[in-house]
Chains A and B, each alone.
Chain A
Amino acid sequence: GAVVSQHPSRVICKSGTSVKIECRSLDFQATTMFWYRQFPKQSLMLMATSNEGSKATYEQGVEKDKFLINHASLTLSTLTVTSAHPEDSSFYICSARVPWGANEKLFFGSGTQLSVL
């Protein structure tokens, strides 16, 4: 199956710094990627839809200036958490839509655990 690689798997940073998370589709071209966040014992919450070559579409309540998404190529999308604060500590997960088949499934990265001190 398709592989989505997410890096780093874990990051610890000081409050006020920015953190970049990368999401790569390794064996296919992903025109659309999705970013989720997940708090402990809760479900995944969709943050934004990332389309290659265009601006991301953010879900209601997600600050686009806080969570910068760039999808500059067909195999890479990045999420930058700017001026991170402890409340941004969460598990961030990306997924990519494979461009074949009917009602294609999504493949997910292994997630990034962000801890802001």
Chain B
Amino acid sequence: DAKTTQPNSMESNEEEPVHLPCNHSTISGTDYIHWYRQLPSQGPEYVIHGLTSNVNNRMASLAIAEDRKSSTLILHRATLRDAAVYYCILRDGGNQGGKLIFGQGTELSVKP
């Protein structure tokens, strides 16, 4: 599985945008970029995913570099409830049974 690299931790102020970076220089053509987040003492929850084009949903936006070697998860207005560990994961789109292998993720703290 191709690997991802994320900063260990980031801080944000409440109601400000947050940009969470992820590097995946060995990404293959069939790899989708997935983002999940895990709140304390809970299972992870899906945030967003994409292949080549930027994606938006009600939770966040995903900006994917043109060469696909990096991506950025954007939370437009951070709230205290967004404090979590955010995982950037590559998932092989050619393998529909593909498992998710989690890296270390970025621990986001949000200050009031």
Contacts and interface: CB of A to CB of B under 8 A. Distances in A.
Interface in B44-69: 44-46, 49, 51
A104 B42 contact: no
Interface string A43-60: 111100100000000000
B contact face: mostly helix, strand, loop, or mixed:
loop
Interface string B28-44: 00001010101001111
A37 to B, nearest CB: 11
Contacts of B51: 103
Report the interface size class on chain B: 20 to 34
A46 B96 CA distance: 17
Nearest to A93: B43
B81 interface: no
A107 interface: yes
Interface stretch (B15-23, B71-79, B97-105): B97-105
B43 A109 contact: yes
A105 B46 contact: yes
Given A43-B103, A46-B101, A111 B34 contact: no
Given A34-B100, A44-B102, A49-B99, A103 B43 contact: no
Nearest to B42: A110
A97 to B, nearest CB: 7
20 contacts: A6-B43, A36-B102, A44-B44, A45-B102, A46-B99, A46-B100, A49-B99, A95-B43, A102-B93, A103-B51, A103-B93, A105-B49, A106-B46, A106-B100, A108-B43, A108-B44, A108-B45, A109-B43, A110-B42, A111-B43
